[in-house]
A = this chain, B = another copy of it.
Amino acid sequence: MWTLQPFNFMLKNLAKNATCLRSASSLIPGEPKQPHVSTSVVPGPKSQQLIQDLNTINQSSSVQLFADYDKSIGNYLTDVDNNVFLDAFTQISSIPIGYNHPELLTVFKEDHKLRALINRPALGVFPGYDWPQKLRNVLLGVSPGLPQVITMMCGSCANENAYKALFIAYRTKERGEDVPFSELENSSCMINQPPGSPHLSLLSFHGAFHGRTMATLATTHSKAIHKLDVPSLDWPIAHFPRYKYPLEENVRENNIEDKKCLAEVEDLIQIYKKKGTPVAGIVVEPIQSEGGDNEASPEFFQGLQKITKKNGAGLLIDEVQTGGGATGKMWCHQHFNLENPPDIVTFSKKMLTGGFYHNLEMRPKQAYRIFNTWLGDPGKIFLLEAVLKVVKEQNLLDQVVKTGNRLKSGILSLEKEHPELLNSTRGRGSFLAVNAVDTKLRDNIVGNLRLKGVIVGACGDHSIRLRPSLTFQEHHADILLEKFRQVLKEVK
């Protein structure tokens, strides 16, 4: 007994030092050292009870667990059963710099910002006096080269309104810049008929996800359950490239895939023109996220931009999930070396407010065409301002690249160790994914990781996606990879 005590003491001290070192390097003070799951199942008993409770109020069988947001911190999510998870999914990719970041906790201590939050105005009619300055400094400060920006409430609303901007721009060009609306246009649109409500379409891609409201759902093609029973529109749908991995060993094949997909886009534009439903715009994610983290090459996107220009259509890049820094650049499409910025870039999630950037062609001449009561929420802009300050001061885009490299090379190693389980490691920055060989295995991996205290996401039919916050560091990556390795041994 006497001999054991000092040894235990030594061990504890060692652990303490290690913790100090680790804590010292953590970007968020007070983060736990590692995840900890004490219930035998996740969701644990308290979560299960709350799920039953919530289910009496609405259809909520999608709920995975109930969280305790008072206790969650940084990259660690604590649940109501006191399980502590390392969170590499971050509320479907919408927590930019971790939970309870000290900078965010102080935002509404400032009286002016609190009042902006509780007196939410109709921003298109009676904005607060600092609104132009906030749009300029906060949102235009990280614009992907586009001069205009408008805020919305969420990603679906951002896309719905951006689609309208595409249609309005297309018809304005057709009609002639300064030609007024005809009597017939004015009257026919009131009963949903052309020419006022014209037959126009947007081209989207198989596997895409742009939202769940009617127009965005018509361009969403990721899972049937999202679309079943909801009326839709006969709009063209092209194939998005599906690459062979590793990319460097399949250059020729993937190049052919790009060309095939671009050719189909051109064909569809002609077909829908002949059909009398011309394509007013192309809507595309820089990485198809919900659809399975399908990426495409810079050349593909360059080709797409050329096709839109040639056909008088607009190019909308939907950065709702990819935007905000997770790919190592503020906007994923900045990896593509496009000749010009896209006509429209939509955002939400990590940006905390929905909205879209656009060029002057996409700006309606008249008021009330892109409009609603709230047009966003000033409270969210103040939070975003704090987020972007942290991103800049702590060089978080560099951190994302470092963390991403550690994660990607780690997953590639796992893929090499278990080629019978994993393949197609891919992604940019820490916006990464890997495929399991089938859906069942994928679900097992995601479930077992959760039991070990790591939350990752699923997407597509058999993909695992990582969506860590921008403050996810190498030591977090190491924990994730270690647990992933353990899980692969177990499921094998």
A residues near B (Cβ < 8 Å) are 46, 50, 53-54, 57-70, 72, 77, 80, 91-92, 94-95, 99-101, 104-105, 107-108, 111-112, 114-122, 124-129, 131-132, 135-136, 140, 147-150, 153-157, 160-161, 163-164, 167-168, 170-172, 181, 185-187, 189-193, 196-201, 206, 211-215, 218, 221, 223-235, 237, 348-349, 352, 354, 363-374, 379, 383
Contacts and interface: CB of A to CB of B under 8 A. Distances in A.
A107 B118 CA distance: 9
Given A100-B119, A192-B234, 19 more contacts: A59-B363, A62-B124, A66-B126, A66-B128, A66-B129, A77-B126, A160-B214, A167-B231, A168-B230, A181-B228, A186-B224, A189-B227, A189-B228, A190-B206, A192-B237, A193-B234, A213-B213, A225-B369, A226-B369
Given A198-B229, A231-B197, A128 B69 contact: yes
Contacts of A213: 156-157, 160-161, 213-215
B231 A199 contact: yes
B372 A156 contact: yes
How many copies the complex holds: the figure is 2
Contacts of A196: 224, 227-229
28 contacts: A57-B147, A58-B135, A59-B150, A59-B364, A62-B125, A63-B125, A64-B126, A65-B126, A67-B121, A67-B129, A80-B129, A105-B115, A120-B352, A156-B157, A157-B157, A160-B212, A171-B228, A171-B229, A181-B224, A181-B228, A189-B229, A192-B232, A193-B232, A215-B215, A225-B366, A225-B369, A231-B233, A349-B373
A230 B167 contact: yes
Nearest to A222: B190
Nearest to A355: B58
The 10 closest A-B pairs by CB, nearest first: A214-B215, A197-B232, A192-B232, A62-B367, A171-B229, A160-B213, A153-B153, A61-B367, A189-B227, A91-B122
Contact of A185 (B61, B147, B228, B383): B228
Contacts of A218: 192, 214
| Binding site secondary structure of chain A | loop
A261 to B, nearest CB: 16
Nearest to A231: B200
Contacts of A50: 129, 131-132
A57 B129 contact: no
Contacts of A199: 231
Nearest to A108: B108
Contacts of A118: 100-101, 104-105, 107, 383
A226 B373 CA distance: 13
Nearest to A224: B186
Given A57-B132, A192-B233, A197-B230, A153 B150 contact: no
Contacts of A65: 126
A249 B211 CA distance: 50
A116 B214 contact: no
Given A135-B57, A157-B154, A229-B171, A69 B116 contact: yes
